[in-house]
Chains A and B, each alone.
Chain A
Amino acid sequence: MIDASRIITEALVQSGADVFIGYPITPSNLFYSYSKERFPEFLAGPDEISVLQWMCGYSAAGKIPVTATAFPGLALMTETLNMAYMMELPMVLIITQRLGPSTGSATTGAQGDLKFIDGIISGGFPLPIFSPSNFDDAWTLSNEAVKTAIKFRTPVIILTSKELVMTQKSFNINSLETLEKVDTTPKAFEPPYQPYKAGEDMVPPFFPLGNNEYQVRFNSSTHDNDGLIRKGTPESLANTWRLREKLENRIDEYTFFELDAEEGATNLIVTWGVTADASRDAVYSIRNKGEKISLLIVKTLLPISKKIYDIIDSYDTVTFAEENMTGLYKEMIFGKRNNPKVKTATKFAAMLTPSEIEEIVK
């Protein structure tokens, strides 16, 4: 029997993550203990602001750092996460959701942090958010998280939930294919080197601090291609705008989802993370009763690809299944306003069950 914390930790290390820097918090503590055992380098930070600042330092020095926390820690990390984003530093943050607000209930799972994370980068900039729905995803999406972080020079969040990463399950580990270390060699560029000058792929080539070839500058404030503070110049504003474009224009390179479409179905269940397994069971049961139903499990929650909108638009009725009060992913797609085509199967402070989902879909 194993749990997804173990799978995610192992996948990140195999993918080439170098260092885990953590501060303990339930329900992310298994990541902390597994990382202490497995990462080539492990550091215990004195608080979450330090944790993420240290990670930025490691990342700027060319390493791939990882941490795991929950909402209270992420709240403290928010300013530094913006810094990492602005500096374009690759790293992975695992956020395990638990019941809020505030300290809430540390050992009760939830899916309540999506909206906070959606707006976490000041200015409404996109940040890749991956959400594993089961053990297989835990493996592959962790690998994709490292790839995406390096490829796009960005922090990436793996958004999980207590029940998903702490429940033990019998699982055939031989089904997990060994992962390759993600290549971090800087790509070719047109000289002269400027730390924030990007080519057509919109991502500047990465050289670490301290390298002997090129002077590099990282900057958290609005900066030009040289990495120097510039307020409101066309070059510096274009550089900031690029942060959005590199992720939005190439969104389908890191958009992951699972669509179980049934021929002739007009109803769709949309779900993510820990509620996906309950939805799989609900779909099985509904089909057993002779009804037609399709299932969309979203794995790249943010930013939202047009592919996701198109799938949702192709159904007459859509039920969002989520473990929060109002359907936070539903609100990402349709807003807070009632919509005759949209239903929400939600649950507060407990796991949403297959029969509850089925009840709403009916």
Chain B
Amino acid sequence: METTEKILTTAKMPFCPGCGHGVCVRSISKSLKELGYKPKDVALVSDIGCSGLVDPLFATHTIHGLHGRAPALGVGVTLGLDNPYKKVIVIQGDGGATIGLQHILEAARRNIDMTLVVINNLLYGMTGGQMSGLSTNEFKDYKHNDDNTEPYDVVNLAHQSGAAFSVRVNDISNFTDVLKEAISVQGFSLVELSSLCTSYGMKKVAEFKDFIAAEEKLMNKRPVGVSLKRETNSLLENIKGLDTQFTSTINDSIGVVIAGSAGGGIQSAARMLAKAGMLSGLHATMKGEYPITVGTGFSVAEVILSKKPINFTGLEKPSVVIAVTDDGWNKVKNRITENSKVFVDSKISTERNFETKEFLKIGGKKGAALCTVSHWIKESGIFPIEALLKVVEDSKYAASLQNAIKSADDL
């Protein structure tokens, strides 16, 4: 049912005399009115360019953004409103469609329920008539522009990306009807309207038709894109507190570096050590370092255990350095000080003579780090090995972790 409330605030257009943009604006307003939309049921999103000067003309809600980004802004407005009774209309020029093409494809791919009107005057009107990515070769020839790169077919691109409805209309007498069809579609609709720029194009509409791309109309049947909302639980909910059950001989603080290769259980051995420390009444920190390609190369972890709360989490002088593979050793060997206690696997060739044992052979590839940690815990007596066994108790891999811990006895 047609509404009686005015969609436009004025009949006076801000464009140059004869500019096609005025026809486009009036057609959009007419189609909304004929479809029965009240001004407050519409959010108009406008771009930058002469085609972006439209927001003051509309009595609807308006949001006037950046060059090329209006379709992305429209996606946010549509999903943010999440209300099928509110219509989001986005208007941009061919220049806007060029710089922000990705946003159009994304809105189409997600089939967001909004209508994008691309007002194509084959040029950047506002900046002086330069050619855009939608300028046709015929038009570029006419403008003595020697670039003959084919233009984008934004209608087809939107279709290929999944738009529910995309169409190019050149005949102004059909603008309103096609817009009504597009606005009524559920999902993403794109309407490319041709518009003559009388200042930088040509004077007569009759001539203009020889320069514009042919009309086309394409459709996809797809579900409308929505953003799911759900109930979630606190991220702190499943964090288990670790109550002190063991005692530690550490009076100050101790820093441990564990180094090996990706997939060698380095990070988890460090985490278990930290937790065992917490079960023994200590404060703990843990951080990992590995290449961006996490599945290969070195893996290094640092653990600090301390009687006092820990502020600085860096490790200047590690008290203990554990290395079970060459990858790991090469990464940490420079961090050793005279006071560091060093454990290296016997396969690693070191420049100096450190205490070596067959950690890899005894603990296995995945268990070597944990085996070495266990060896050190026992040797140093910082806390009972039972603390470490307690940590792995509820793990999915409890059996193999316990084996790795116990394997330290066989070294």
Per a CB cutoff under 8 Å, which of A2, A26, A210, A353 touches B43?
A: A210
A217 interface residue per 8 A CB criterion:
yes
Residues of the B chain whose Cβ atoms lie less than 8 Å from the Cβ of A50: 72, 75, 102-103, 106
Residues of the B chain whose Cβ atoms lie less than 8 Å from the Cβ of A83: 65-66, 69
How many residue pairs link A and B with beta carbons under 8 A? The number is: 206
A170–B285 CB distance below 8 A: yes
Per-position contact with A for B280-303: 1 when CB-CB < 8 Å, else 0? 001111110110100000000000
Per a CB cutoff under 8 Å, which of B77, B103, B229, B234 touches A60?
A: B77
A176 interface residue per 8 A CB criterion:
yes
B16 interface residue per 8 A CB criterion:
no
Residue of B with least CB distance to A218? B63
Per a CB cutoff under 8 Å, which of B41, B61, B86 touches A217?
A: B61
Per a CB cutoff under 8 Å, which of A40, A59, A353 touches B229?
A: A40
A66 to chain B, nearest CB (A): 13
Per a CB cutoff under 8 Å, which of B55, B63, B278, B312 touches A1?
A: B278
B172 to chain A, nearest CB (A): 27
Per a CB cutoff under 8 Å, which of A10, A26, A170, A217 touches B235?
A: A10
A337 interface residue per 8 A CB criterion:
no
A216–B235 CB distance below 8 A: no
A57–B275 CB distance below 8 A: no
The CA-CA distance from A37 to B72 in the complex, in Å, is 24
B63–A209 CB distance below 8 A: yes
Residues of the A chain whose Cβ atoms lie less than 8 Å from the Cβ of B82: 61
A166 interface residue per 8 A CB criterion:
yes
Per a CB cutoff under 8 Å, which of A1, A41, A87, A163 touches B227?
A: A41
The CA-CA distance from A173 to B241 in the complex, in Å, is 8
A351 to chain B, nearest CB (A): 4
Q: Which parts of B228-252 form the interface with A (CB within 8 Å)?
A: 228-236, 239, 241-242
A84 to chain B, nearest CB (A): 10
Query: Could you say which of B233, B236, B282 has the most chain A C-beta atoms within 10 Å of its C-beta?
Result: B236
Per-position contact with B for A1-38: 1 when CB-CB < 8 Å, else 0? 11000100110011000010000001000000010011
Interface residues of chain A: helix, strand, loop or mixed (majority): mixed
A227 interface residue per 8 A CB criterion:
yes
B76–A60 CB distance below 8 A: yes
A301 interface residue per 8 A CB criterion:
no
The CA-CA distance from A87 to B82 in the complex, in Å, is 21
A11 to chain B, nearest CB (A): 10
Query: Could you say which of A14, A43, A168, A211 has the most chain B C-beta atoms within 10 Å of its C-beta?
Result: A168
A167–B235 CB distance below 8 A: no
A107–B229 CB distance below 8 A: no
B66–A57 CB distance below 8 A: no
Per a CB cutoff under 8 Å, which of A19, A58, A219 touches B55?
A: A219
Query: Could you say which of A14, A58, A62, A350 has the most chain B C-beta atoms within 10 Å of its C-beta?
Result: A58
Residues of the A chain whose Cβ atoms lie less than 8 Å from the Cβ of B41: 210
B106–A220 CB distance below 8 A: no
A338 interface residue per 8 A CB criterion:
no
A280 interface residue per 8 A CB criterion:
yes
A278–B312 CB distance below 8 A: yes
A54 to chain B, nearest CB (A): 4
A332 interface residue per 8 A CB criterion:
no
Residues of the A chain whose Cβ atoms lie less than 8 Å from the Cβ of B103: 49-50, 53
Residues of the A chain whose Cβ atoms lie less than 8 Å from the Cβ of B234: 10, 14, 38
B311 interface residue per 8 A CB criterion:
yes
A169 interface residue per 8 A CB criterion:
yes
A161 to chain B, nearest CB (A): 12
The CA-CA distance from A162 to B106 in the complex, in Å, is 31
B292–A26 CB distance below 8 A: yes
CB within 8 Å for A49 and B69 given contacts A37-B235, A107-B289, A217-B64: yes
B81 interface residue per 8 A CB criterion:
yes
Residues of the A chain whose Cβ atoms lie less than 8 Å from the Cβ of B59: 215
Residue of A with least CB distance to B77? A57
A157 to chain B, nearest CB (A): 19
B140 interface residue per 8 A CB criterion:
no
The CA-CA distance from A83 to B289 in the complex, in Å, is 38
A352 to chain B, nearest CB (A): 8
Residue of A with least CB distance to B41? A210
A46–B63 CB distance below 8 A: no
The CA-CA distance from A277 to B83 in the complex, in Å, is 47
A80 interface residue per 8 A CB criterion:
yes
Residue of B with least CB distance to A40? B229
Q: Which parts of B267-284 form the interface with A (CB within 8 Å)?
A: 271, 274-275, 278, 282-284
Residues of the B chain whose Cβ atoms lie less than 8 Å from the Cβ of A9: 235
Residues of the A chain whose Cβ atoms lie less than 8 Å from the Cβ of B55: 217, 219, 228-229
Per-position contact with B for A57-97: 1 when CB-CB < 8 Å, else 0? 11111110000000000000001100100010000000000
Q: Which parts of A344-359 form the interface with B (CB within 8 Å)?
A: 350-351, 353-355
A47 interface residue per 8 A CB criterion:
yes
Which residues of B does A touch, CB under 8 Å?
39-41, 43, 45, 53, 55-56, 59-66, 69, 72-83, 86, 102-103, 106, 227-236, 239, 241-242, 271, 274-275, 278, 282-287, 289-290, 292, 310-314, 316
Known: A53-B69, A229-B55. 11 other contacts (CB 8 A): A53-B103, A54-B75, A57-B77, A60-B76, A80-B66, A83-B66, A211-B61, A218-B62, A218-B64, A228-B56, A353-B316
Which residues of A does B touch, CB under 8 Å?
1-2, 6, 9-10, 13-14, 19, 26, 34, 37-41, 43, 46-47, 49-50, 53-63, 79-80, 83, 87, 106-107, 134, 163, 166-170, 172-174, 176, 208-212, 215-221, 227-229, 277-278, 280-281, 350-351, 353-355
A-B contact pairs, 26 of them (CB 8 A): A1-B275, A2-B239, A19-B80, A38-B232, A40-B232, A49-B103, A53-B66, A53-B72, A53-B73, A54-B76, A57-B75, A57-B76, A60-B63, A106-B292, A107-B289, A163-B314, A167-B286, A168-B286, A169-B284, A170-B278, A170-B284, A209-B80, A215-B60, A217-B61, A219-B64, A350-B314
